[in-house]
Chains A and B, each alone.
Chain A
Amino acid sequence: MSDEGPAAPDLRSDETAEVVVDRTAPHPIVGVPVIEVAGVWKTYRSGSLEVDALRGVDLCVDRGEYVAVMGPSGSGKSTLMHILGCLDVPTAGTFRLAGDDVRSMSEEDLAQVRNRRIGFVFQQFNLLATLSAWRNVELPLLYAGIERAERRRRSLASLERVGLADRVDHRPGELSGGQQQRVAMARALVTDPDLILADEPTGNLDSVSAGDVLALLADLHRSGRTVVLITHDTEVAAAADRVVRIRDGRILAGAPVGAREVR
């Protein structure tokens, strides 16, 4: 269903090839999916009203996959993204990130997971306006306790990767929207995370910049990263090699989630 996407044709084969290599390298537990969501409910309480944002979601994403979660606003996709990003915990059900159950983690542990294993790309870019590009990129490394010289080296490498080597000292206000989003992507990459979570990354961009960002995501995927893209836009979702549709808090359809998920 994502075969029409621009980078799609070569991805299938690429994926199968990459997966094997990747699994053995950083995570010795072979066969453990990056994301393993089973029967997840999320209930919000506003006053006396209870709202079920997620109603029993099952989702499995393997290492090296590029998955788009697609749904209209109010479908629960943002809630799912928050849970996948360890920004929120499920009310019921389990979420394993690379094999580790998130529900048993303390707030400190969750912070560490967000820091080391997840790279976020937001619709609003969420760059700190007062810091230069490289200072924005180094933030996750700062919280990881890495020393300054190493932070700078890795931040610059990451910015070069997204094609902004000549903008390292610019502040977000001095960059175009597309460039800002690429800085945010450099920040997501800098810790070498297990998972890149992109929440409507093209939502605030013109079509040219959006294309750049999608090309970059595709490129990251091609180099073996696991990418989960959340969008309401069919065209954007088409860039992924698997699309999971979500509506009213339930997964509607998607690529066969595979035997692995149903355990």
Chain B
Amino acid sequence: MNLLETFRTGLDAVLTHRLRSVLTVLGITIGIAAVILTVGLGEGAQQQVGSEISALGSNLLTVTPGSATSSTGIRGGIGTASTLTVGDAAALASKVVAPDINAVAPATSVQETLVAGTQNWTTTVVGTDPAWLTVRGRSMAEGRFLVAQDLASRADVVVLGATTAQELFGVRDPVGQTVDVAGRPLTVIGVLQPVGSSSAASTAANPDDQAVLPLTTASALLFSGASRNAVSQILVQATSAATLSAAYQETDAELLNLHRVATPAQADFTITSEQQVLSTATSVDRTLTVLLGGIAGISLVVGGIGVMNIMLVSVTERIREIGLRKALGATPRVIRRQFLVEASVLGTVGGVLGALLGIAGALVLPHLISNPIAVSPAAAAAAVAVAVALGVAFGVYPADRAARLEPIDALRTE
């Protein structure tokens, strides 16, 4: 009996026991669809985080005061010493010193309560310069951002994040209104375009909830004494993601030089890149994908056991048929093949339907939930291959049982 005939016989049996076949296929279908959707969900999240972080600037370096380890071996926490100054930022902005640096923005932030009329709102107040907008990759929703003149004149102006503006002014137009910060009335000159809070991984605070003032104004208003020239961070933007490491080295060398530190081990500042944040976020997402994939994998195994279960029932139910076929000259090999074909047909049909269902789900679901789902054709093909393999693997035992039935025992069964 050739393979085509074996296949036809197996297919016949699948088609004859329609309800049973449909239910078995359903198990595999759900398993495969679950795998495709969960893996797609994980990959989608990974891509989304990646693109959001790169929009924020994957070419961004953040310099913070303090070092990992001091010369005496005592670890100084990041930000515990105020060793960075506006002068450092100005030096880094020089194209001669650092050709791979596009823009530099010194920044100092503090939590403060803003008052507008009867509304109070506590938020992050950032003192910085006009380069902040570029470096942070932000844009204005309305009004204008800080200009050099605001810093020079210590202008009493403030730019609000979208959430902050909403909290303080509700539906009213905030531009031109007055906000009291630490007792000084500041004029709102603009509102930042919201970026959404889903990329919280990159900045601890909600990027839409902050108030930005000129660094000089903030220093005079919120910070006193020696720390007037100090900043809590310097944001450095490389000319591109490719030149990030060059920009890193230039920043490092320049600051070591300015601070007169002989060896990098004694540096009184720390440079971190968004790339590091990106890789951390990506690895978190990867863990999630593995977790979800694992759950989906278990549902696949359950589907496979379903196939085995049904095939075993099928063998038991068809003992007479198997006995008759053997009496008529079917060899154990032919019987084994017939049942393997049945199992793999169930697996294949389930796999293909599952892939279609998964892809359909990937197209429809993102409209219902906010998460994007990325389905790669390779993953779908692999899922189908797994389904076929499941069908065969879990069909082996029942097929073997069928093949080993004694024809007389089989025929005797009433």
Residues of A within 8 A of B (CB): 82, 85, 87-88, 107-108, 111-112, 114-116, 120, 122, 126, 128, 130-131, 139-140, 142-145, 187
Contact = CB atoms under 8 A, between A and B. Distances in A.
Interface in B378-414: 406-408, 411
B1 A114 contact: no
A120 B330 CA distance: 14
A115 B407 contact: no
B315 to A, nearest CB: 15
Contacts of B324: 126, 128
Contacts of A88: 406, 408
B1 A130 contact: no
A120 B328 contact: yes
B329 A114 contact: yes
Contact of A145 (B1, B327, B407): B1
Contact of A142 (B5, B326, B332): B5
Q: Interface centre among B320, B333, B406, B411, by most A CB within 10 Å?
A: B411
B286 interface: no
13 contacts: A85-B327, A108-B331, A111-B329, A112-B329, A115-B328, A120-B327, A131-B12, A140-B328, A140-B329, A143-B1, A143-B325, A143-B334, A144-B329
Contacts of B9: 142
B12 A187 contact: no
Contact of B326 (A111, A122, A130, A187): A111
Nearest 4 A/B pairs, CB to CB: A115-B329, A143-B329, A111-B331, A130-B16
Contacts of B326: 111, 114
B2 interface: yes
A71 B185 CA distance: 118
Nearest to A108: B331
A88 B326 CA distance: 12
Interface in B113-131: none
Contact of B1 (A108, A120, A142): A142
Q: Interface centre among B325, B329, B330, B333, by most A CB within 10 Å?
A: B329
Interface string B15-43: 01000000000000000000000000000
A142 B333 CA distance: 14
Contact of B411 (A87, A130, A187): A87
Contacts of B411: 87, 122, 126
B12 A130 contact: yes
Contact of B408 (A87, A115, A131, A143): A87
B329 A82 contact: no
B334 A114 contact: no
A82 B9 CA distance: 26
Q: Interface centre among A82, A120, A130, A142, by most B CB within 10 Å?
A: A142
Nearest to B320: A126
Interface string B314-347: 0000001100111111111110000000000000
Contacts of B321: 128
A82 B327 CA distance: 10
A82 B333 CA distance: 22
Contacts of B328: 114-115, 120, 139-140, 143, 187
A128 B12 CA distance: 12
Contacts of A120: 327-328
B126 to A, nearest CB: 77
A82 B331 contact: no
Contacts of B406: 87-88
Contacts of A142: 1, 5, 9
Nearest to A112: B329
Interface string B156-199: 00000000000000000000000000000000000000000000
A232 to B, nearest CB: 17
Contacts of B1: 142-143, 145
Contacts of A115: 328-329
A50 to B, nearest CB: 18
A139 B408 CA distance: 18
Contacts of A107: 331-332
Q: Interface centre among A107, A112, A116, A145, by most B CB within 10 Å?
A: A107
Q: Interface centre among B2, B324, B330, B334, by most A CB within 10 Å?
A: B324
B231 to A, nearest CB: 83
Given A142-B9, A143-B330, 19 more contacts: A88-B406, A88-B408, A108-B333, A111-B329, A112-B329, A114-B326, A114-B327, A114-B328, A115-B328, A122-B411, A126-B320, A126-B411, A128-B324, A139-B325, A140-B328, A142-B1, A143-B331, A144-B329, A145-B1
Nearest to A83: B408
B317 to A, nearest CB: 12
A131 B328 CA distance: 15
Nearest to A131: B12
Interface string B208-223: 0000000000000000
Contacts of A144: 329
Nearest to A143: B329
Contact of A116 (B5, B329, B331): B329
Interface in B326-378: 326-334
B321 to A, nearest CB: 6
B13 to A, nearest CB: 8
A111 B330 contact: yes
A122 B408 CA distance: 12
A87 B407 contact: yes
Contacts of B331: 107-108, 111-112, 143
A126 B407 CA distance: 13
Contacts of A85: 327
Contacts of B2: 145
Nearest to B404: A107
A87 B16 CA distance: 28
A107 B405 CA distance: 12
B360 to A, nearest CB: 33
A257 B1 CA distance: 39
Contacts of A122: 411
Nearest to A126: B324
Contacts of A82: 408
Contacts of A126: 320, 324, 327, 411
